[in-house]
Structure 1
Amino acid sequence: MPKRFIKKYYPDHKKIKEIKCLKVFGPLIHNQNVWHLNRRSFAGAISVGLFIAFIPLPAQMLIAAAAAIALHVNLPVAVATVWVSNPITMPPLFYAAYRVGASLMEIPASAEGIDFSFTMLLDTLGASWKPFLLGCFVLGSSLSAIGYVLARGIWRWFIIRKWLARQ
């Protein structure tokens, strides 16, 4: 991956260390492994971020930060990748997760008559949480693995291209 391109948009780690919600991590946030950018840490961070993006909790960024610190992958990339599931993309992603889970559990999933309101969500939550969570796990795991392989492959491709240009 073009390291200079990523570093251009990379936040200053000193500024990030001053963010109050990250002070929960204490001295762990000062570990240089979570700030280092190489192929392994980048691909691992993409993988962590994509998996956590499918966790249906509001604190995805904090979970991604904790996972990045625990797994020694790049913290800013992991937190940024979580934004794959943002308020605009969340409904289609979570509906796809429900459909995948329902098909794996062999439950008929029909979108007919759904009004996508908060009351509908509360009414159907009791019956649909199992296929929804299964679909979130399956899609999160699948996209995490695909993201890891693609990130490593694309990074390697850029390195080879750069190396061949010097020859």
Structure 2
Amino acid sequence: MPRRFFQRYLPHPDTLKRQRSLRVVGHLIGNPSLWVLSRRSVANAFMVGLFSALLPIPFQMVVAAFGAWLLRCNLPLSVGLVWITNPLTMPVIFYGNYLLGAWLLSTPAREAPGHLSTHWIAEQMVDILPVLVLGSLVSAVVVGLAGNLIIRLIWRWHVARSWKRRRLKRRQARRSAVDDL
């Protein structure tokens, strides 16, 4: 079952409660509904985590944690999925979001200079930011909803496959019992 797969990699709530940096939110972390591993909670956690990961904002993990608390979905999954946009992947993902926003607004995308610097980004931010925000919001919604749907379909497929295996095992057990008589 997919639940076993996720339980293998997720931390236990008690270990997180004991950490000094998380004592302030310990009562929130201890909420059992944030640690449930069901099809709905895992799929919604993927939706929240992927949505938060594609937003060009600081403190994406806080947004993901708040979204998990609001939707009562799995907290560690939603916060962990934010790391899809890590320092290595962030420039590529956000440039893709910028290109999507430029395409949606029918504006020409600016070419990055040969030597990318923070000075160039600061100068161009007024023009880049609205396009980046639009592209990021659209991609965040689409990827979040697609992640939710894909996880629900995979979960359903896995459960149906395990039911089918059990049914075949029962049939084989009955046949061998009849053959033994």
Query: TM class by shorter-chain length?
Result: over 0.9
Name structure 1 gaps, 5 residues minimum.
none
Superposed displacement of residue 112, structure 1: 5.5
- 1:148 lines up with 2:148 in the alignment: yes
Alignment TM-score, normalising by the size of structure 2: 0.86
Letter in 1 for 2:59: A
The 3 A distance-change label for structure 1 pair 99 and 147 is same
- Residue by residue over 1:112-145, the C-alpha shift from the partner in whole angstroms, topping out at 9 and shown as x without a partner, is 6353221111111111100000011000000001
Match of 1:56 in 2: 56
List aligned pairs for 1:52-91, cutoff 5 A: 52-91=52-91
TM-score (structure 1 length as normaliser) = 0.93
Aligned to 2:93: 93
Alignment of 1:110-125 (within 5 A): 110-111=110-111, 113-125=113-125
Call closer, same or farther: CA 1:21–1:59 in 2, change over 3 Å: farther
Distance 1:20 1:49 in 2: 24
Q: Deviations over 1:3-42 (max 9, x none)?
A: 1121111111111223444444352222110011000000
Q: Counterparts of 2:72 and 2:143 in 1: how far apart (Å)?
A: 20
Q: Secondary structure at the match of 2:83?
A: helix
Conserved? CA contact 1:114–1:120, under 8 Å: no
CA contact (8 A) 2:17 2:26 kept: no
SS at match of 2:115: coil
Residue matched to 2:12: 12
* Structure 2 alignment gaps of length 5 or more: 168-181
By how many angstroms is 1:62 displaced? 1.8
The higher radius of gyration belongs to 2
Structure 1 stretch displaced more, 140-149 or 6-15? 6-15
Q: C-alpha distance in 2, partners of 1:20/1:61?
A: 18
1:18–1:58: structure 2 CA closer, same or farther, 3 Å change rule? farther
CA RMSD of aligned residues (A): 1.5
Secondary structure at the aligned position of 1:62 is classed as helix
SS where residue 25 of structure 2 aligns? Answer: helix
